[in-house]
Amino acid sequence: MSRETIRRLFEEELKTALSKLPPKLQENFFEYAEEAARKTVEMIVRDRVKISNIGRYLSFRDIPDILDRDLVVGVVDGSSSPTFNDRLGYRIGVYTACYMVFEGDKIISDRDDESMEAGYMMVSQTGDILQTHKILSLLMTSKERELALRCMKNYDVDIMLIDGAFYGFRTRCSEVKKLNLAEMGIEGYRSAWDLIERVLTFTRHLVRSGKAVAVIKRLRTSAIDGWILSKTWSISEITKRNDRSILRMLLPYGKYFNYRDFIGDRWSYLHYSSLISWYNDIVEKKIVKEDKSMDENTREALEYVDKKLKTQIHTDLCQHNTGSHERDTCAANLLKEITSRPRIHVRLSPYTAPVCLEIGENVDLEMVLAYVLKSANLATGLPFPIDLVDEMISIDRELAKEFAEEVEARLLLNREVSSDEVESRLEPLNPQKEI
């Protein structure tokens, strides 16, 4: 290989996404970046006083340092293809799941053949793509939770770390739970409801194990803003920022914030966060009135939110053909189940935002806090096992395409079908994207 060829390859590797655009579009984006930066400075300056005032109402606790031995810790994660590979006849996606086990900083599961699995989804191109994405996500979550339970069966772990909220899968289940998965070609389930029920069952086993802790990285909860709203009923008083963003400014390194210290036990972080989501409804229905006391307005607004959450949860996680009494009981029990898990924010690095932990039943919180601080990766603000399993299992966006090409190649070698029959199903939907 000549030096010129090596130079060209190196330059190609160094090209950024922006540099690949025409100069005119590059110029546009640089101008927009300047505009966005200016607007952000204005918002930061405007919010300084609000953030400072919020700090007076929040209390933080020290993370204990109580570890006197190396803990055995399991960690599980799953990954699915960011995009489907679209063919003329099929939409193809893949997923993986993996657990790792650590004793102190030593991996003790590296020769465990049961520690990782993969799967795929190959369904008709004509289906709703959002529904297809949700099914793929549920398949991945099911496998991830199954492996977490397997890990606890195979190893005597002190802590089992789960990547993502225990009940985070419930969102948009209502859109798919009536789908017939058998007709879609997905084996092992009659309907999407069977799949949802399986994930819910696995999740409950994890929550009740006395060892499970969920590590929530992508958190959009706005309970702090919801609490401010409940004291003012003025949308202009809130920060319009999620809790993690606010706590990035206020929570010191080595300390943690517990929602229950802030809002008490009567209502949950989810109720206060939902005040923001349903504020317009609350105003339009005149639930909040000037002639009522602040406490009365807050109580009635939160009761309204409670009913809305139960409706949402019933729609997502209760069987659709139940009567009204069964429906109400199911929704009430599930809402209590979901919100009964304590959530705390932990600042594990001075350089990054806090991470949210959701604590399973009968888990030793002090042991968990001491462990996550001791095992923190200062670059990410996460326990290092979470980083390692994520690196191990993450799916490249090209994997679904390569899997589809492998299926296509095997079919083209099969004498029972013609190449035209194969290509009518597996030729890329958009040939330009395959070049």
CA distance 301 to 282: 7
**Does residue 424 lie within any of the structural domains?**
no
**Does residue 186 lie within any of the structural domains?**
yes
Is 430 a residue whose pLDDT tops 80? no
CB 356 within 8 A of CB 43: no
Whether 179 and 78 map to the same domain: the answer is: yes
CB under 8 Å to 34, separation ≥6 — which residues?
Answer: none
pLDDT per residue as tens digits for the range 298-338: 999 999 999 999 999 999 999 877 777 888 899 999 999 99
Residue 33: how many other CB atoms lie within 10 Å: 11
pLDDT per residue as tens digits for the range 177-226: 999 998 888 988 999 999 999 999 999 999 999 999 999 998 889 999 99
Closest residue by Cα to residue 423 from 91, 89, 86? 89
pLDDT per residue as tens digits for the range 335-374: 999 999 999 999 999 999 999 999 999 999 999 999 999 9
Of residues 398 and 154, more confidently modeled: 154
**Does residue 246 lie within any of the structural domains?**
yes
- What pLDDT score does 252 carry? 97
Closest residue by Cα to residue 244 from 221, 211, 262? 221
Whether 251 and 381 map to the same domain: the answer is: no
Phi, psi of 160, rounded to the nearest 5 degrees: -120, 110
Mean pLDDT, the chain, whole residue set = 92
Whether 24 and 133 map to the same domain: the answer is: no
Residue 4 pLDDT level (bands cut at 50, 70, 90): low
Residue 25 domain boundaries: 16-56
Whether 147 and 246 map to the same domain: the answer is: no
CA distance 301 to 117: 46
Whether 189 and 236 map to the same domain: the answer is: no
Whether 86 and 207 map to the same domain: the answer is: yes
- What pLDDT score does 172 carry? 93
**Does residue 192 lie within any of the structural domains?**
yes
N- to C-terminal Cα separation, the chain:
24
Residue 11 pLDDT level (bands cut at 50, 70, 90): low
**Does residue 349 lie within any of the structural domains?**
no
Is 279 a residue whose pLDDT tops 60? yes
Query: Total domain count for the chain?
Result: 3
Whether 51 and 109 map to the same domain: the answer is: no
pTM for this predicted structure: 0.90
**Does residue 430 lie within any of the structural domains?**
no
**Does residue 409 lie within any of the structural domains?**
no
DSSP-derived letter for residue 68 is: -
Across 16-20, 112-116, 211-215, least confident range: 16-20
